[in-house]
Amino acid sequence: MARFILTPVLLLWLNSLAFAQYADPLTGNVGVVYNRETTVNLRLTTSRGFLVGMEFGRLRTYYKTTYFHLSAGELRHPKEQRQSADPLLSRSFRPYIFGKQNNALLVRGAWGVKRYFSEKAKHRGVAVGVSYSLGPTLALLKPYYLAICYPNPTRPGDCRIMHEKYSDENANLFLDENGRIKGASPFTRGLGEISPRPGVNASAALHLDWGAFDEFVKAFEVGIMLDVFPTELPILVSDANQRLFVNFFVNLQFGKRK
């Protein structure tokens, strides 16, 4: 008999743990407490960069969430200028960045905090808060290849296309503005020549959540992010390279709490 009594009691207790309730001490409102959230991040930066990431959060209190963020994307120099490929060969080659030496592919990790200002925002449909994070960055420098025209000695007026990265030997051709550059080489060229550079990143943002206390996450952020490296990243063939990169960004988050 005791078993038949204890079994439903135990099931009710486990159910209460899965769907625990919380009463806000300021307003007395009661809602379901979630322990964790997982989101996908899509971030656009002012340097025309695009990042895709994942965020794994733990809801510490009704107004505070700690999280770990992981993202990947390309870091672009603010002085990059895209040039059109040779119109006669536009189907064969992509537009290119004049004077670019390396692609900087970044993998960022960060630990952060999200804080909501007040429960009152919930009744207007949007919870307002801030988020901030700090963590390591790994820059993967991949040589940037261009399709360069070399005159064909056996066929005057014709040229041989050679795919080359920047070097002291071909500097006069790599930086030629008189038609010797036909376009950018396929992105896959240079993948076997990647070199790593460690750094750190930080960000701070205004956080707007259309479901801060719901099962599904629908949030928008606008903020500033920094990437800092011990030495200058050689992205361009010039003395304009830098160690500190500052970008403003907008970020969309979609995910789920449980």
Query: What is the pLDDT at residue 22?
Result: 46
Query: What is the pLDDT at residue 124?
Result: 56
For 127-130, which contacts have Cβ atoms below 8 Å and span 24 or more sequence positions?
A: 127/208, 127/209, 127/210, 127/212, 127/213, 128/206, 128/207, 128/208, 129/63, 129/206, 129/207, 129/209, 129/212, 130/204, 130/205, 130/206, 130/207
Q: Residue 235 corresponds to which amino acid?
A: I
Query: What is the pLDDT at residue 66?
Result: 96
Q: Could you tell me the CA-to-CA distances from 167 to 100, 206, 240 in Å, in that order?
A: 12, 44, 18
Query: What is the pLDDT at residue 67?
Result: 97
Q: Which of 147, 219, 141 is nearest to 186 (CA)?
A: 147
Q: Domains in the chain, ordered, with CATH?
A: 15-257 (2.40.160)
Q: In this structure, what DSSP letter does residue 168 have?
A: S
**How far apart (Å, rounded) are the C-alpha atoms in residues 223 and 133?**
11
Residue-level pLDDT, tens digit, the chain, 258 residues: 444 444 443 443 344 333 334 444 444 444 556 899 999 999 999 988 889 999 999 999 878 999 999 999 999 988 888 888 777 665 667 889 999 999 999 999 999 999 988 654 455 578 899 999 999 999 999 999 999 888 776 776 677 888 999 998 888 888 887 778 888 998 999 999 999 999 999 999 999 988 766 888 899 999 999 999 999 999 999 878 999 999 999 999 999 998
**How far apart (Å, rounded) are the C-alpha atoms in residues 235 and 141?**
8
Helices (H), the chain: 2-18, 171-174
Query: What is the pLDDT at residue 212?
Result: 66
**How far apart (Å, rounded) are the C-alpha atoms in residues 139 and 201?**
11
